[in-house]
């Protein structure tokens, strides 16, 4: 199984690249945001539990997020050559839980790849995206910078976690979509 964790700040192009990579390598793309939206929209038991926390303004506990992710993986088990995790893990405890879950299946994280880009370039990308996406968090520069600060604080320990496992790779996230896809492929092809 080829299991890739894709990192990157908002606007780095994770979703765009995931579309190309999932087809090229026959991977199942699992976006934590999509999984949450599905469970909430379909009023699943896990969605109801998540809504309980969200309605109080609390963060959804890792244990619940991990259960949603596990269900999503198990839906595709046996029909995919691996998984492309987008937006998960975000913390070391989540990474440890992902490792435990994958090990229980006889798998492991193959590589974690970070799409690196200058904050100023990404801020402009998101502001531009905000003109058409309708997302309020893509239209306010202060909110964008706040998201980057949170990303930096939470992700730095995660980078060290994967570097310690010798599974961390950085890829330049600036350039054309095709150029970035090629850079990502050079990393993934080492394991495929």
Size (the chain), residues:
192
138 annotated to a ligand binding site: no
pLDDT digits (tens, 9 = 90+) for 110-157: 999 999 988 888 888 888 888 887 777 778 888 888 888 888 887 878
pLDDT digits (tens, 9 = 90+) for 43-67: 999 999 988 888 877 778 888 989 9
Instruction: Please count the other Cβ atoms lying within 10 Å of the Cβ belonging to residue 48.
Output: 11
Residues catalogued as catalytic:
14, 90, 129, 135, 147
H or E, element range at 123: helix 119-133
Three-class SS state of 113: strand
| Cβ-contact 2, 81 below 8 angstroms | yes
pLDDT digits (tens, 9 = 90+) for 59-113: 788 889 899 999 999 999 989 999 999 988 988 999 999 999 999 999 999 999 9
| Start-to-end CA span in the chain (Å) | 9
What whole-number percentage of the chain has pLDDT above 70?
A: 100
175 annotated to a ligand binding site: yes
Between helices 32-41 and 62-76, what is the axis angle to 10°? Answer: 90
Exposure pattern of 91-115 as b/e (b: 16+ CB <10 Å)? Answer: beebbebbbebbeeeebebbbbbbb
Architecture in CATH of 2-183: 3-Layer(aba) Sandwich (3.40)
183 annotated to a ligand binding site: no
Q: What are the domain boundaries of the chain?
A: 2-183
| Cβ-contact 140, 28 below 8 angstroms | no
60 annotated to a ligand binding site: yes
């Amino acid at each position: 199984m080829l299991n890739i964790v894709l990192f990157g700040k908002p606007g780095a192009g994770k979703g765009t690249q995931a579309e190309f990579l999932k087809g090229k390598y026959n991977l199942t793309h699992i976006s934590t945001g999509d999984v949450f939206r599905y469970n909430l929209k379909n009023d699943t038991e896990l969605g109801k539990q998540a809504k309980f926390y969200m309605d109080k303004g609390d963060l959804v506990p890792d244990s619940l997020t991990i259960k949603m992710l596990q269900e999503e993986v198990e839906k595709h088990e046996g029909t995919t050559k691996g998984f492309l995790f987008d937006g998960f893990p975000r913390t070391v405890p989540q990474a440890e839980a992902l490792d435990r879950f994958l090990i229980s299946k006889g798998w492991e994280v193959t590589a974690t790849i970070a799409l690196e880009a200058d904050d100023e370039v990404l801020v402009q990308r998101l502001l531009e995206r905000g003109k058409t996406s309708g997302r309020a968090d893509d239209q306010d520069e202060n909110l964008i910078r706040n998201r980057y600060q949170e990303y930096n604080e939470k992700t730095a320990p995660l980078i060290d976690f994967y570097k310690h496992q010798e599974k961390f790779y950085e890829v330049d996230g600036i350039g054309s979509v095709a150029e970035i896809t090629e850079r990502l492929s050079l990393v993934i092809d080492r394991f495929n």
